[in-house]
Structure 1
């Protein structure tokens, strides 16, 4: 069976090299066509892609968002440093912003609330009449007496004092919501910023928060992200050139990564997908895999030339034949780990999974096939491209790896890896699902958005909202005293959670109206005795259809209880949802039930729940896929378990680092984590397969490990070193998420490379798995066979040193 597979692979290699002109022509043509489509890909965030639409929270949110508030609410705070807001200068700024907000793209004009709107009302009662009127509309106070009357009205209204005017009277809030089908962050962000900047100054500080502004900042930094991406690629090229000392070792891996990106983006355009700025780091990660596979082939090509291959065509053919199997195994493993993300019911994740899988599969062509095909055209090198030789440093690392595997230190390495796995695995349970910081984890804590968020949360009840909707069994059920009392009880129960700054419902309005009707006597701060009386009290409040819609629907059958959050940490949200469920279970209502949960916090809760289940499912399926791939490739189920070691180790270390640094598992980190499983095993495939192939020619395990580390290990070391140094450059990004993902990639690459160079050879020597060493007697590993060749350090890609012995098997010369 092995001979048949080997023969088929050999025929395929010979076909590609023999027909290299046709193969290269087809590849070039496809690349040119897909380049045209790739140029049309839009880099933007689509909010609808972030929602798990099948989740009940999201369904509640989408059902009631137009009336009770969506997840795209923007809060604009005007704060004064001296005095209070009750002066014409500040109130004129409030009115100007309020009047100009309806001109912003996608705005829901019925959801604009401020002191200058007709939404905030006061009720005045006398023996002659009951009057409900806006506190400051359409004009601002012109005299000191009118200003004092406005101040008194605000202080006496619990719906204004606290929610829209801060307790110290130094800040006022303007809120606006948008139709979610019309949201365009690229349009909303500059328009809102223009209004805020116009109001800034003269002792007034303006802060703006909300999802449209957050993702607007993400889009704002897209040019910077692209510059960092290109700069990182430039540094990668420079490092490859420094280490490889040849143009082929520099340009061919770069070409493989570039063409893979073009193909993937071209397919994304054909499928109508956009490229979200938050997943650009994944694009770099997959591009790095393409470069890694190409470096392995170029490195082996140099080894074959140093070993005496007669022509570059023979060296390219031999390199492709030897590395095609581990290369394809790595590609298939990566693709399988990526495709499992499609099971996460979030459109963005599904798009990332599809395009990521296509991107990974293109590596099979761009690196595994085209790199050796292009190498076959090269002439034998006669010298180095530059005089700086770093190979002695790399030799020391490889020599150390060989020494560890061949000595008793291998037991220390295996035991140490087991200890680190257990320790990091236990610590990884501290990893937060959802945001781990009070501000947005997408941006740095000192960013303008997070500073504005902290300012709004300091002065007001909270910038983020979640609402639970009471759904009555029939119209007018909301008016029932028992229902209103239940709402008040829920608000009091939830107020015990520190992260909830306040709440609001129709139950806050009716008692206030009842009190005012009875000469403002606090004894009558209560609900009516019947539902008809409560309906009359709400009617007397005098709200128009647009204003009352945020408290109750037209039939008085559905009404929200809205909670304001000081932060949106994963733990805060889970606690709030759990407490809500606990209250609802302990306080049932015969008139109806509560539906969870709307608003940005409700949507975030849904996303976090999906991520929690999706992360476990993705990791489990990715590991299962890895076991299946290894079992098929090596015809041994033990192979899958063996290769899980570097995977589990790199993942537990990375997850424990995330827990330590407060990096939560969010939409953006989920696909990186899934792809990291494949990333953790690619290097091990090359090294272990090299050992296995060497043992086909002799029985000396020690020599096989040495040969594999000198050849495949060299490619691993070059790739991991260049990529690790390059991705650290992402730490300069203004987007905190990208910087942290760059750091996580560096950790993944380092742990994966260390596992491949030190842990896997040590495990092979200690456990001697049958799928690697075969069914040989123990004695054959202690004494080299007589036909063994003496092994010296092979030459690197640049043939500046003479090589007297062949480091590996050259198919061309066997």
Structure 2
């Protein structure tokens, strides 16, 4: 940013008549010569977007959480209409704690619950299954052939005879471990969901659905006649509902973070007006962001809800730097308007570059083919862009009117002029060879150790149940109960067998599907498998008086056709209407990364070896299949994302500093922090998944702010003729202490997330706290150490800078250095 700065207008000017209002860049003149207009425009925008923000909604769609272009997902979506029950579904288990399922009061309550779920908007009613649904049937072999009917007797009256008939039908239908718990104390209602509400045509509102499920739970839990019921609910929509319920607490965390930031900044400045403006401008940026994303048609979801917190944190970081610069100039006797303009000149370029780096950190998330992460990237980039207006422009303008407390300014000047000691003196020692070398050796050892540990980092979930929620959450307790009492878990991995019409009835196709089922059963973590081949075996044996020796797949096509027709009456989900698509479903004990990797490896190997033009084995459907596809995308995106974010940060730093040595000094601390963060994830048992994937990229984008502010002052002083030690000492006084302040403030704000009921938010809070603190410490300690070896000799283009006479302010010295750089780079500055 070139300027018309002269030595006169850079001195401490207390009288505005002595200040040249036409000095500075065009942008500076446009802003500060029309300050009132800037404030009025910002006020108008705040009112408009504040109104829009009130229309913002909370929701999450199933399709937004999956990588839509991943081959497995494409296979699932292309055949979704043909796969019944393998998409988004809810499982509701009704337990009788005081008896078993053959209690008439239990069965009557189960009927009412079934009816309420059946009539719930968004339910695929044709495929609902429970003891009360006629689609759930029994079959048996008699002397006269096959006999069958619905499991719930047509003439059920609640009498002992009806109960005995139901007991017999459940045994005939082999529902134990499927729709009936292994201890006969519970039964399941399987509720598949549609993409849209079938009454309104709008996308399914998972939060509203979750609230309806909770109302059913509350209504029927407890004593119902002679039965004491407990209702357990699992499924994607319930996870989302619990997450959205937990998000309401995030408002409290936002308030706590704002209070912590206010207390820390005020304790450092002792100035109410400047503290209030820093926090106020950061809050305005958040309000603008929420208003814009509402106007663009976006909704907040469990992932993007964290973005306003990050925008607020970044805004506080940049606002504190501007406030500190103005406070120091005012303390030297400079008029508040002049001080605001001086600070704008010194830090606007560094601030914009830092915000661009932050935006890049968010923007690279667009590379991840998961819509919910791409939405996060868009909303976060919008928020960061708005900070340019609120914290780099509006805040200095506001401070040019209000100024800062004279006592606080004087206190700030005394603190700067006082000989630094303690920690600050220790940091200065790192500009010396012995201390610098020792620190770099220690850093190298930590980096190598962290890299070794980080090689154990896993992709995907490392815990059973919903990893987004805490292990002791109601959902995960429900999930653990269902997995212990039912052999068909909620973690389904399905391989799609696709043939020509009627092709799934061919002998060879059924044999291959049966072989695939056997292969999957050998994989650790697979409870059982189900396919048309299994049903054909049982029905074939039944056709021959139930003889076990006929428990096989007959090569006789007429036998196969009869078996398939019989199976379709009780298990219509085993194949589609024209028998061209059938799934081979593996029920897994969990969806941990290791389990999914092993299942995918076995299924992929079988598909590669056995797929032919006549029949194809396509991965994958089911909740576990979708999870496996997501893990594949995350594994690929993890490295790609880091490469892009570091490439962008390097380019931005090079544009700013015009020195590859300075780029190395700025980036090395970030690399070390990234490696140590991955090691910390291993030690804390966290996997890389959709929730944690953005953290490292965000840490890099935000962490580079520290280096940009420190190095910009240090290099300016060195080019003005200071030694490295003198330049770094001055950088510490001007921005270093604020870097430490901001690092602590941000960490104190996000650590409150660790108490969130949403586990992935707690994980993000811990990781971001670590990265904020470690990036701050790395910048303060490693920049002088690396500078000793790489940046000891820094020269301005052309002739050297003449040091100012004794007593000239440090502001003038910095500005003079920038003036020499600008004028020599551009003889005709704007």
Q: Same fold (TM over 0.5)?
A: yes
Q: For the residues of structure 2 that align with 1:335 and 1:169, how far apart are their CA atoms?
A: 56
> 1:788, CA displacement in angstroms?
8.2
Q: From 590, 603, 607, give the equivalent of 1:584.
A: 607
- Structure 2 residue corresponding to 1:46, chosen from 49, 58, 61: 61
Q: How many angstroms apart in 2 are the aligned matches of 1:586 and 1:271?
A: 48
Distance 2:382 2:650 in 1: 21
User: Once the two structures are superposed, what CA deviation does each residue of 1:650-695 show, in whole Å capped at 9, x if it has no partner?
Assistant: 2112222112212222222233332221112110111111101112
Partner Cα distance (2:269, 2:294) in 1: 35
Task: Tell me the CA shift for residue 763 of structure 1.
Answer: 1.0
Q: What is the CA–CA distance in structure 1 between the aligned matches of 2:453 and 2:628, rounded to whole Å?
A: 24
Residue number among 132, 157, 162 corresponding to 2:177 in the alignment? 162
Residues 306-363 of structure 1: CA deviation (Å, up to 9, x unaligned): 3x24311121111111111211110111112221222222222222222211211111
The residue aligned with 2:399 is 375
Cα distance between partner residues in 1 of 2:71 and 2:316? 43
Within-5 A mapping of 1:94-493: 94-138=110-154, 140=156, 142-144=158-160, 146-158=162-174, 160-182=175-197, 183-201=204-222, 202-306=227-331, 308-379=332-403, 381-384=405-408, 396-406=422-432, 408-461=434-487, 462-472=489-499, 474-493=500-519
CA distance in 1, matches of 2:563, 2:544: 12
Residue 795 of structure 1 corresponds to none
**What corresponds to 2:749 in structure 1?**
726
Distance across 2 between alignment mates of 1:785 and 1:570: 63
- 1:539-592 per-residue CA deviation (whole Å, 9 max, x = no partner) reads 23460xxx5431111111111111222222233222211110112233345631
What SS does the corresponding residue of 1:405 show, helix, strand or coil? coil
Q: Distance in 1 between matches of 2:404 and 2:158?
A: 89
2:582 to 548, 553, 559: 559
**Distance in 2 (alpha carbons) for counterparts of 1:380 and 1:342:** 41
Query: For the residues of structure 1 that align with 2:814 and 2:661, how far apart are their CA atoms?
Result: 29
Task: Give the aligned partner of residue 72 of structure 2.
Answer: 57
SS of equivalent residue, structure 1 residue 469: strand
Find the counterpart in structure 2 of residue 798 from structure 1.
Answer: none
Q: Matches of 2:415 and 2:55 in 1, distance apart?
A: 42
CA deviation after TM superposition for structure 1 residue 26, in Å: 2.2
Separation in 2 of the partners of 1:127 and 1:723?
Answer: 77
Structure 1 vs Structure 2 CA RMSD: 3.1
CA–CA separation in structure 2 for the residues paired with 1:442 and 1:228? 18
3-state SS of paired residue (2:577): coil
Match of 1:596 in 2: 619
Distance, in Å, in 2 between the alignment partners of 1:207 and 1:139 is 29
Bigger mean CA deviation after superposition, 84-93 or 101-110? 84-93
- Is the contact between residue 303 and residue 376 of structure 2 (CA under 8 Å) also seen in structure 1? no
CA distance in 1, matches of 2:476, 2:420: 44
Determine the structure 2 residue equivalent to 1:801.
Answer: none
Deviation for aligned residue 1:626:
1.0
Indicate if the aligned counterparts of 1:467 and 1:560 stay in contact, CA closer than 8 A.
yes
1:238-276: per-residue Cα shift (whole Å, max 9, x none)? 222222211233112212211211222222122211111
Partners of 2:634 and 2:688 within 8 A in 1: yes
Q: 1:69 aligns with which of 60, 81, 85?
A: 85
Distance between the aligned counterparts of 2:90 and 2:419, measured in 1? 56
Residues 1:805 and 1:22: Cα distance change in structure 2 (over 3 Å): closer
Q: Assess if the C-alpha contact under 8 Å between 1:125 and 1:131 holds in 2.
A: yes
Distance 2:151 2:465 in 1: 33
TM-score (norm 2): 0.89
| In structure 2, distance between residues paired with 1:504 and 1:5 | 79
Task: Report what 1:520 is aligned to.
Answer: 546
Cα separation, 1, equivalents of 2:160 and 2:58: 52
Instruction: Select the residue among 627, 630, 636 that pairs with 1:613.
Output: 636
1:697–1:93 Cα change, 3 Å: same
Q: Alpha-carbon deviations, 1:692-744, whole Å to 9, x = none?
A: 11123223221101000111101101111122112211122111111221111
Report the counterpart of residue 79 of structure 1 in structure 2: 95
**1:675–1:65 distance in 2 versus 1, CA, 3 Å:** same
- TM-superposed CA distance for 1:785, in Å, is 10
Distance 2:613 2:30 in 1: 76
1:464 CA displacement: 2.0
- Aligned partners of 2:706, 2:726: CA distance in 1, in Å? 20
Structure 1 position 430, deviation (Å): 2.2
- The answer for the alignment partner of 1:687 in structure 2 is 710
Q: Give the paired residue count.
A: 789
Which residues of 2 match residues 698-717 of structure 1 at below 5 A? 698-717=721-740
Asked if 2 retains the 8 angstrom alpha-carbon contact of 1:727 and 1:745, the reply is yes
- Displacement of 1:774 in angstroms is 5.9
Q: Is the 8 A contact 1:285 1:745 kept in 2?
A: no
Using a 3 Å threshold, how does the CA distance of structure 1 residues 440 and 387 change in structure 2: closer, same or farther?
farther
Cα distance, 1:287 vs structure 2: 1.7
Q: Does the C-alpha gap of structure 1 residues 393 and 597 become closer, same or farther in structure 2, counting only changes over 3 Å?
A: farther
- Deviation per CA, 1:349-391, whole angstroms, max 9, x where unpaired? 2222222112111111111122221111124633259999999
SS state at 2:406 partner: coil
Q: Show CA shifts across 1:404-434 (max 9, x none).
A: 3346222221222222222222322322222
How far apart are the structure 2 equivalents of 1:28 and 1:810? 34
Deviation larger for 625-634 or 747-756: 625-634
Whether the 8 Å CA contact 1:84–1:171 is kept in 2: the answer is yes
Cα contact 1:318–1:812 (8 A) shared by 2 = no
1:797 corresponds to: none
Separation in structure 2 between the aligned mates of residue 809 and residue 288 of structure 1, nearest angstrom: 31
Q: Structure 2 vs 1, CA of residues 530 and 359 (structure 1 numbering), >3 Å: closer, same or farther?
A: same
Cα displacement (A) at 1:808: 7.4
Structure-2 residue corresponding to 1:12: 27
Q: List alignment gaps of at least 5 residues for structure 2.
A: 7-21, 198-203, 820-830
Question: Aligned in 2, Cα 1:181/1:603: closer, same or farther, shift over 3 Å?
Answer: farther
Distance of 2:716 and 2:507 partners within structure 1: 80
How does the TM-score come out when normalised to structure 1?
Answer: 0.90
- In structure 2, C-alpha distance between the alignment counterparts of 1:631 and 1:622, rounded to whole Å: 14
